[in-house]
């Protein structure tokens, strides 16, 4: 008899138990997930959003200061906003182009507008990843030789086209002819130098490194450079000096076309723009975004909105009114309201020949050879060592500045002398070749001690008389005065010295005087009078001036 065993009720019971357990577990998981979700929601609500900004930090070159301020004001008035509602703002800083390069590489700005795209390549030099992106030009202006009308007419203008060759002939035949172009640390100076190399090579396109090194080309450029009266800090600084000093300051000088318009709008004596018959290059005023590590998406949007803004018809017309040529070809230069007209000394039909921009290697080669071709300098350093210079570490500051200056003098043929003074000139060092005597000159500077009174005028005359007696007209001759005090020990009077200097510069070799004043006691009437008598400048010795002393002065040398 078989037995039938039935186990279903047990299985059912076990299944029910398992289901019950699973239900409890799932319920607990659900509760935990709900709690976790609530915690997540709470955490998200309490978290601080990632900070962002839509403000673009923009550096721009000095010659378009008024234009850029106007553009920024109009941009802000338009009240642009990001999709998230952040206001788009521009924080604009005026800065020399060479300093823009340094600041950009240091990460200080998120956008730049130098006077030429030349500087963009320098920003990205030796970088693994490019910093410059999305560059767009929005204004252009050709480089010209500005001359007074009668000077240009004496060279055959406007009956015949003139250029570098006529300028060279005039400078070589007339010892009193004064012309200037900025150093190659400025765009106008570098573009003018490249134009000289093109003229020397008798080309308008495809300038090569071999062309730059060619002896005939180098001789041509050297001949031009030897006739330069002095170099300057830049075209804006030159035009400011011309406006201040008038006809007696220079006969001709290199600037952009736009600054001829600017000058003629402010002065009764008129300049004319000479577009060299050999050809010219252009400043192209780019607006570029910098891919800095901290660049935000909103800043990128602000840049793109600004780019659209400067290319708009409204701003392009504003650019034309400022004397630049707009990039919008729909805006006509012959419009009656356009300032690009012969009445303002410029010609909308010029330049007839535009030179091709060389590649970076050719530009670097030309700039290197310019240092060899340019006029060498005689520089006398007149340093106050009176007792008052010992207070507040003023002598130490002057020594540091002079040592840095000596370290940075690049010209192999440049000479430097030292004229320390207190109650009298004492321990003067005659002109020395910097390349050979750099360390010895630095040691003499470091050994200076502060004591005695202040015979400033006698010391300046000592240096000035020494340079005049040398009579080295083929060199740029300069005096750098560093003082903190009030003249109190000289045998000369200020008016007597200033008149001697003016007469000496008129009949002998031209000597330019630069004055650096330390502290609140510096006599600015004396310093300005000495500088003004020679076409130099007087500046306060603030940290920025001291830091940039060589850069400022080297543009003249």
Cβ proximity of 502 and 416 under 8 Å: no
Taking CA 241 as the corner, what is the angle to CA 543 and CA 500, rounded to the nearest 5 degrees?
90
Give the H or E element holding residue 323: none
**Cβ partners under 8 Å of residue 435, min gap 6:** 412
3-state DSSP helix/strand/coil percent for the chain, to nearest 5? 45, 15, 35
pLDDT at 12: 38
pLDDT at 376: 87
DSSP state of 327: S
Query: Which tokens hold the place of 392?
Result: 């507040």
pLDDT at 224: 94
516 within a domain of the structure (yes/no): yes
Whole-prediction pTM: 0.78
Taking CA 32 as the corner, what is the angle to CA 27 and CA 37, rounded to the nearest 5 degrees?
125
**Cβ partners under 8 Å of residue 56, min gap 6:** 88, 89, 90, 91, 110, 111, 299, 302, 303, 306
459 within a domain of the structure (yes/no): yes
pLDDT at 53: 81
pLDDT at 308: 98
44 within a domain of the structure (yes/no): no
Q: How far apart are CA 231 and CA 165, in angstroms?
A: 19
- Total domains in the fold of the chain: 3
β-sheet bridge partners, residue 256? 143
CATH of the domain at 66: 3.40.190.10
DSSP for 133-199 reads EEEEE-EEEEEEEEEEHHHHHHTTTTTS---HHHHHHHHHH-TT--EE---TTSHHHHHHHHHHHHH
Assess whether 360 and 403 both reside in one domain.
Answer: no
Assess whether 435 and 512 both reside in one domain.
Answer: yes
pLDDT at 25: 37
Closest CA to 516 of 501, 496, 536, 499: 536
Helix (H, G, I), strand (E, B) or coil at 416: strand
Assess whether 235 and 357 both reside in one domain.
Answer: yes
Q: How far apart are CA 113 and CA 287, in angstroms?
A: 5
Q: How many CB atoms lie within 10 A of CB 490?
A: 21
97 within a domain of the structure (yes/no): yes
188 within a domain of the structure (yes/no): yes
Assess whether 363 and 394 both reside in one domain.
Answer: no
Assess whether 317 and 391 both reside in one domain.
Answer: no
Assess whether 410 and 505 both reside in one domain.
Answer: yes
331 within a domain of the structure (yes/no): no
Q: How far apart are CA 52 and CA 86, in angstroms?
A: 9
Q: What residues make up the domain containing 186? A: 142-283+341-371
Cβ proximity of 97 and 61 under 8 Å: yes
pLDDT at 139: 98
Closest CA to 81 of 288, 307, 295, 298: 298
pLDDT at 176: 87
β pairing state of 111-113 and 179-180: unpaired
Q: How far apart are the first and last CA of the chain?
A: 129
Assess whether 366 and 480 both reside in one domain.
Answer: no
Assess whether 61 and 171 both reside in one domain.
Answer: no
86 within a domain of the structure (yes/no): yes
Q: How far apart are CA 506 and CA 534, in angstroms?
A: 10
CATH of the domain at 513: 3.40.50.410
Helix (H, G, I), strand (E, B) or coil at 446: helix
pLDDT at 108: 95
pLDDT at 98: 83
DSSP state of 48: P
pLDDT at 88: 97
Assess whether 479 and 414 both reside in one domain.
Answer: yes
Q: How many CB atoms lie within 10 A of CB 330?
A: 7
Secondary structure E strands in 372-428: 377-384, 415-421
pLDDT at 50: 46
Q: Taking the C-alpha atoms of 96, 102, 103 and 105 in order, what is their torsion angle to the nearest 10 degrees?
A: 140
Taking CA 387 as the corner, what is the angle to CA 385 and CA 389, rounded to the nearest 5 degrees?
60
Cβ proximity of 290 and 122 under 8 Å: no
CA distances from residue 89 to 42, 62, 69, 109, 246 in whole angstroms, order as listed: 34, 20, 13, 14, 40
Q: Using omega within 30 degrees of 0 as the cis cutoff, is the peptide bond preceding 351 cis? A: yes
Query: Which tokens hold the place of 199?
Result: 């003229």
Assess whether 195 and 256 both reside in one domain.
Answer: yes
Q: How far apart are CA 342 and CA 54, in angstroms?
A: 43
Assess whether 394 and 535 both reside in one domain.
Answer: yes
Assess whether 393 and 468 both reside in one domain.
Answer: yes
Helix (H, G, I), strand (E, B) or coil at 403: helix
**Cβ partners under 8 Å of residue 83, min gap 6:** none
Alpha helices in 246-296, H assignment, sequence order: 257-264
72 within a domain of the structure (yes/no): yes
pLDDT at 39: 36
β-sheet bridge partners, residue 420? 383
Q: Output the tens digit of pLDDT for each of the chain's 557 residues.
A: 333 333 333 333 333 333 343 343 334 434 333 334 433 333 333 444 445 689 999 999 989 999 999 999 999 999 999 999 999 999 999 998 888 999 999 999 999 999 999 999 889 988 889 999 999 999 999 999 999 999 999 999 999 999 999 999 999 999 889 999 888 888 999 999 999 999 999 999 999 999 999 999 999 999 999 999 878 778 888 999 899 888 888 999 999 999 999 999 999 999 999 999 999 999 999 999 999 999 999 999 999 999 999 999 999 999 999 999 999 999 999 888 899 999 999 999 999 999 999 998 999 899 888 887 888 899 999 999 999 998 878 999 899 989 988 988 876 789 999 999 999 999 999 999 998 999 999 999 999 999 999 999 999 999 999 999 999 988 989 999 999 878 999 999 999 999 999 999 999 999 999 999 998 888 999 999 999 999 888 999 887 777 777 777 777 77
Angle between the N-to-C axes of helices 494-507 and 456-470, in degrees from 0 to 180, rounded to the nearest 10: 10
Count Cα neighbours of 75 within 13 Å in the Cβ-side half-sphere.
27
């Amino acid at each position: 008899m078989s037995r039938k065993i039935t186990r279903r009720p047990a299985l059912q019971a076990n299944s029910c138990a398992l289901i019950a357990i699973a239900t409890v577990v799932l319920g607990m998981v659900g509760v935990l997930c709900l709690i976790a979700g609530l915690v997540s929601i709470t955490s998200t609500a309490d978290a601080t959003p990632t900070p962002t900004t839509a403000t673009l930090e923009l550096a721009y070159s000095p010659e378009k200061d008024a234009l850029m301020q106007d553009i920024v004001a109009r941009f802000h008035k338009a009240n642009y906003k990001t999709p998230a509602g952040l206001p788009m703002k521009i924080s604009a800083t005026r800065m020399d182009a060479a300093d823009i390069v340094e600041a950009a590489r240091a990460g200080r700005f998120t956008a730049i507008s130098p006077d030429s795209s030349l500087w963009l390549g320098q920003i990205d030099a030796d970088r693994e990843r490019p910093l410059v992106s999305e560059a767009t030009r929005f204004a252009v202006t050709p480089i010209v030789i500005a001359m007074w009308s009668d000077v240009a007419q004496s060279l055959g203008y406007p009956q015949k086209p003139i250029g570098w060759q006529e300028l060279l002939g005039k400078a070589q035949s007339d010892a009193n002819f004064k012309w200037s172009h900025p150093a190659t640390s400025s765009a106008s100076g570098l573009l003018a130098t490249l134009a000289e190399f093109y003229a020397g090579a008798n080309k308008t396109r495809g300038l090569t490194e071999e062309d730059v090194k060619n002896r005939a080309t180098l001789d041509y450029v050297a001949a031009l450079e030897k006739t330069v009266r002095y170099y300057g800090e830049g075209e804006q600084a030159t035009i400011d000096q011309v406006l201040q000093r008038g006809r007696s300051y220079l006969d001709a000088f290199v600037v952009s076309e736009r600054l001829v318009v600017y000058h003629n709008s402010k002065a009764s004596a008129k300049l004319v723009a000479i577009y060299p018959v050999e050809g010219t290059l252009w400043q192209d005023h780019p607006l570029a975004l910098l891919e800095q590590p901290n660049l935000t998406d909103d800043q990128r949007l602000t840049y793109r909105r600004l780019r659209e803004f400067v290319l708009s018809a409204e701003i392009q017309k504003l650019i034309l009114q400022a004397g630049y040529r707009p990039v919008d070809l729909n805006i006509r230069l012959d419009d009656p309201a356009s300032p690009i007209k012969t009445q303002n000394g410029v010609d909308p039909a010029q330049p007839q020949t535009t030179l091709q921009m060389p590649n970076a290697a050719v530009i670097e080669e030309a700039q290197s050879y310019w240092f060899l071709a340019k006029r060498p300098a005689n520089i006398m350093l007149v340093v106050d060592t009176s007792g008052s210079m010992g207070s507040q570490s003023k002598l130490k500051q002057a020594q540091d500045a002079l040592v840095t200056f000596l370290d940075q003098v690049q010209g192999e043929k440049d000479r430097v002398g030292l004229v320390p003074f207190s109650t009298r000139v004492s321990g003067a060092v005659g002109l020395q070749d910097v390349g050979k005597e750099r360390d010895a000159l630095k040691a003499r500077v470091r050994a200076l001690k502060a004591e005695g009174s202040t015979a400033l005028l006698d010391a300046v005359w000592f240096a000035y008389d020494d340079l005049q007696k040398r009579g080295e007209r083929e060199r740029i001759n300069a005096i750098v005065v560093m003082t903190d005090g009030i003249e109190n020990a000289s045998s000369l009077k200020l008016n007597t010295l200033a008149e001697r200097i003016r007469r000496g510069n008129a009949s002998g070799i031209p000597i330019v005087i630069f004055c650096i004043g330390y502290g609140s006691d510096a006599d600015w009437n004396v310093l300005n009078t000495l500088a003004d008598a020679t076409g130099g400048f007087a500046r306060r010795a603030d940290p920025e001036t001291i830091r940039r002393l060589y850069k400022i002065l080297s543009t003249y040398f």
